[in-house]
Structure formats: C-alpha cells, structure tokens
Homo-oligomer: A and B are copies of this chain.
Amino acid sequence: MDSTKSSGETAINITESKSSEGKAPATHTATTKATPYQQGGWKRGISIFDFILRICAIVAALVATTTMGTTDETLPFFTQFFQFQASYDDLPTFMFFVVANAIASGYLVLSLPFSIVCIVRPHAAGAKLLLLIFDTVLVAFTTAAAASAAAIVYLAHNGNANTNWFAICQQFTDFCQRVSSAVVASFIAAVIFIFLVMLSAIALRRH
C-alpha cells in the first residue's frame, strides 16, 4: 500500500510528520490536521456516489437484458408475406445485445465489493485504477450493444426504401415497443458507465 507513505493520511501519521519537521509548529499542525480530513471525506463522498451509480447501472442493465430477452410476439393473424412470430433471437444483433447486457450486469455485481473497498479506504488507488480500466472497457461494450440494437430498431420502425428493407413495426407493435425500451435502458447504463469512469479519474487525481 503506497497510500500509507503519502502526506494526506489518517490522524496517526500527523504525529510522525510533526516530529520530522520541526520549524513553525503552530501553523504547520493546523494545515496537516485540516487537509487529510477534508481530502478523505471528499474522496469518500465520491466513492459512495460511485457505489450508488453502480446500483443504478445494475438496474438499467438488468432491465435491458430481461426486457429484450423476454420479447416474443405472436400475431393473431398471418398474411402471405409476413410471418406469425417475432422474437429477439430472430436477429443476431439483439442476441448480442442480451449477452452484452447480461455480462455488464454480472461485471457490475462483481465490482460492488471493490467499490466498497474504495469507500472504506478512500486512498486505495489500486482498486480505483482497476475499476476505471474495466469500466472503460464496459463503456465500449454496452455502447456497442445499445448502438447496434438502436440501428436495427430504427430500421424496424422506418424501413429503408433504397435497400428494399421494409418497416416491420406496423405489424409487430408490441415487439418494437419492448425492444425500444430495452435500447433506452442500455443507453442509460452506458451513460452511467461514462460517469463512473469520470468519477474514478477525479478521485485518482492527486493533490
């Protein structure tokens, strides 16, 4: 733990720094007493906010996974051109979406103990760095899932005349609505991941 060697630490270290530096004791003791408390509290506040954001991200990722994963609509009629049933596993992009959001949910649950470590020890830079690196990868992962699904959902809603891809949402209204909600939930999870990376970076910055 390199944090024990730094100047901004707990009250135990103040006595040591006081004994090593002899000159101007009155002003010096006042500043060394004020700084670690303020810094520790500030960093702990960020860590607690990080923990709350992680729980929000778990909810968003789980909602995205389950909404998409349970989407399955059977039409009460059939025509010559359109099929009877629409399910998420008809499209490979939606299957990737479900897998990616399930992985994101699993990672977030596993990251909670590390987040608690950051609350208990506000100066543990190693845990913060580890979370930041994995959070960055998950930003890309959840954004990729949400964006690719959004491209397909847009196509399902609007179709494309140039490529002769027809809109299917006139038939599968319930399917499209559920899928769109799942995409929105996944984008919320991605935005929370971006905020988690920023929070970790601000907490890592030294003073």
Contacts and interface: CB of A to CB of B under 8 A. Distances in A.
Interface in A40-93: 81-83, 86, 90-93
A155 B149 CA distance: 12
Interface string A134-178: 001101100111111111101110001011111010000000000
A184 interface: no
Chain A's interface: helix, strand, loop or mixed, by majority?
helix
Interface in A16-40: none
Contacts of A205: 125, 129, 204
A103 to B, nearest CB: 15
Contacts of A133: 198, 201
A194 B147 CA distance: 17
Copy number in the complex reads 2
Size class of A's contact patch?
35 or more
Contacts of A2: 207
Contacts of A137: 194
A132 interface: yes
A162 B206 contact: no
A83 B162 contact: yes
A203 to B, nearest CB: 10
Interface of A: 2, 6, 81-83, 86, 90-93, 125, 129, 132-133, 136-137, 139-140, 143-152, 154-156, 160, 162-166, 168, 190, 194, 197-198, 200-202, 204-207
29 contacts: A2-B207, A90-B162, A91-B160, A93-B154, A132-B198, A132-B201, A133-B198, A136-B136, A136-B197, A136-B198, A139-B143, A140-B190, A143-B144, A143-B147, A144-B144, A145-B147, A147-B147, A147-B151, A148-B148, A148-B151, A149-B151, A151-B151, A152-B155, A156-B163, A165-B166, A200-B201, A204-B204, A204-B206, A206-B206
